[in-house]
Chain A
Amino acid sequence: MEVSRVQANSIRLRAADVSARLVARAIRVSGFGQGETFPGRVALAVAPDFVYRRAEGIDTVLVTGTNGKTTTTAFLFDLLSSADGGDSVVANRGSNLPGGVAAALAAAGDATSACFEVDEAYVPQLASELRAKVMVWLNMSRDQLDRSMEVRKLSRRVGEAGRHVSVLVGNAGDPLIVANSGEFTERIWIVGPSSWRMDANACPVCGGSVEFTERTWRCLGCSLCQPEVSYAVDRAGRVTGPGGERLGRIRLEVPGDFNLFNALAASVAAGRLRGLRPERFFRELSRIEGVGGRYTEWILSKLPRQPGLTTFLAKNPAGWEGILDLLPAGSRLVLGLNARVADGRDTSWIWDADFERLSRIEVIATGDRAVDMAFRLEVAGCRVACVPDQLQAVAVAGAGGAAVVYLGNYTAFFSLIGSLGELGALRTRRVREPVTT
């Protein structure tokens, strides 16, 4: 019997789907590895067009940008679930390469909507395969320069997604986004409180100087300027709409001005996908907490005085500066630095973050590259101790019973979170995570 091409394709898709789910189950049962991307890689090996075919009929929002992808996707997951009246929503969590997206899709069941965070370098490809309806573009700044392209070239590439996605929810405050948004047919511009501008001082179009003021920006050499803003959020969480009308207030469980912006982005995108007003979602936002240990509070029950610990993840100078602004007074600070492949092998970037604001504070530097961090802090004027073992660093910081604040980059953060059990760490906040594989 001859099998038609359509049938063959559909058999291949089902085979990919089943293999991915079997692999995911095997990983879960064996407890081997995290199992977040491997099933997806299997599915892609069986059917290279797996994402394209499995995404058929799913209303998808794609989230990209240098910082805030995971948290914004977690916001979106909750908002879309809440508005959905029981339909299932699928999302990835941190695994933002094609394998991670494929793994989430393989476990999607009969989901009718999705939100996926996507690494900037894979945006045009996945935007096309997912046929996303809305793309959220948060920000662009220097990150892992040894691995990725320079931020300007990368921004141009991300903008090519406009050939496949019609609606952009974009950060009007970022010249690198505005300059590369021309291919989207509908652009919804939003702004929030933001401070990192070191990567957009030269105009992405003409190279001229970009002048920033408190509220807006423009290029002094060409016509590039901040576009008309539809939704804005201020430091107090107050949101205004297209005509400047007040739409209410966003209150969050997670800290940080940048998260107010991420929350607004999620609300606007969810609203656009569902045909609802963004303010419809504000109340739901206040229930959402950090993902995978981000912005999470713990009690270290095995340490003598059971100190508290708060854990923060940030991967690049813009992210670190955002978190350094949040550090509560009186806590003991531990800064973790690794330089493995996922972090970028070069640690030069720590000199672009303003650690001078910590001067005279006692800080413990830790991680694979503790010494690089310790010397950076010494030059910044901090009193610094260098304890390369991360658990030991946290234990030393908490020995006197003072609350400990830990901030680490990617692999440093996850290796600490993975081993916190040894200090008897108990979460003091509920953490809700999108369920995928």
Chain B
Amino acid sequence: MKIIYVYPDLLSTYGDRGNALVLAWALRRVGVEAEVVESPSDRPVPRDGDAYVLGGGEDGPQALAAERLRADGYLAEVAASSRPILAICAAFQILGTSFYADGIERRGLGLLPVTTAPGANRLVGEVVSAPIIPLGRGYLTGFENHSGVTTLDRGVEPLGRVISGGGNGVGGVDGAVVGSIVASYLHGPMLARNPGMVDLMIAKLGAEGSVSSALQEQLYQNRITVAGR
């Protein structure tokens, strides 16, 4: 299988590349050949990916990434064909209908019915949430660092209910789940710290089983223990 890591040159500031690495590692553990293919922003997004992973970035690169992804247009086809997309932080905002970068409102890809406005305070720190979809684990943890406030349209399901931290910055929730798209503000990276999320992505790719290692389970336990859970 091919995991496409989209625009590492623009959306790779907060270690979210780890999501692609962990997903390929997990697939290999269930006997599926998997590789990570980096897709730079000056070339078309590859058509032959099985999953697409996008990460966080700073304002300037985020605006440029949105522009190029809109011109490229292929992520809409990925979503329409129900292949999984994992979008973190800046990429979460880009997949929505609009967001702000460098103080200017920008058009998103419109794949998620959400809008992002500038918030009063930057949200920085550990986040713990309770997953809304069953993940076989009680919590999701991660590290957030953003100032956007992302409002979900009525009926859009969030990824988790925030127990501590900011998440979307409104409504006491983090992220959004729409069709094959999973979006969140959680860095850490998300898939490194949350074995349940890896299982979810693996299931979306048609593979089965809980694939985490002893070390990953220990990491999950450590982070929820530190958070006082």
Chain A interface residues (CB < 8 Å from chain B) = 142, 145-146, 150-153, 198-199, 201-202, 204, 207-209, 345-352, 371-372, 374-376, 378-380, 384, 386
Contacts and interface: CB of A to CB of B under 8 A. Distances in A.
Contacts of A379: 18, 21-22, 25, 192
Top-10 shortest CB links A-B: A351-B18, A348-B15, A201-B9, A351-B15, A346-B143, A202-B61, A150-B58, A207-B64, A348-B187, A375-B215
B63 interface: yes
A379 B58 CA distance: 26
Contact-size category for B: 35 or more
Contacts of B58: 150-153
A352 B63 contact: no
Interface string B19-31: 0011001000000
B215 A350 contact: no
B124 interface: yes
A375 B15 contact: no
A187 B215 CA distance: 50
B121 interface: no
A361 to B, nearest CB: 17
Contacts of B125: 146, 345
B36 to A, nearest CB: 10
B18 to A, nearest CB: 3
Contacts of A371: 215, 218-219, 222
A346 B22 contact: no
A389 to B, nearest CB: 15
A209 B143 contact: no
A254 to B, nearest CB: 28
Nearest to A379: B25
B12 A352 contact: yes
13 contacts: A146-B143, A151-B58, A152-B58, A207-B61, A208-B64, A348-B16, A351-B17, A351-B21, A372-B192, A375-B216, A379-B192, A380-B21, A386-B215
A374 B214 CA distance: 11
A145 B143 CA distance: 11
Given A198-B8, A348-B15, A375-B213, 18 more contacts: A145-B145, A146-B125, A146-B145, A150-B58, A152-B58, A198-B9, A202-B60, A202-B64, A209-B41, A346-B188, A347-B143, A347-B188, A350-B15, A352-B12, A371-B218, A372-B219, A378-B215, A386-B218
Contacts of A152: 58-60
A208 B215 CA distance: 41
Nearest to B143: A346
Interface of B: 8-10, 12-18, 21-22, 25, 41-42, 58-61, 63-64, 124-126, 143, 145, 187-189, 192, 213, 215-216, 218-219, 222
B59 to A, nearest CB: 7
Contact of B124 (A146, A207, A208, A351): A146
Given A202-B64, A204-B60, A348-B187, A142 B13 contact: yes
Nearest to A381: B25
Given A207-B63, A345-B143, A346-B143, A145 B9 contact: no
A375 B60 contact: no
B121 to A, nearest CB: 14
Contacts of B219: 371-372, 375
Contacts of B8: 198
B127 to A, nearest CB: 11
B12 A375 contact: no
A350 B17 CA distance: 10
A207 B42 CA distance: 12
A201 B13 CA distance: 11
B122 to A, nearest CB: 10
A109 to B, nearest CB: 42
Contacts of A142: 13
A384 B58 CA distance: 33
B221 to A, nearest CB: 9
A151 B10 CA distance: 13
Nearest to A207: B64
**Which of B41, B42, B60, B189: most chain A Cβ within 10 A?**
B60
A378 B213 contact: yes
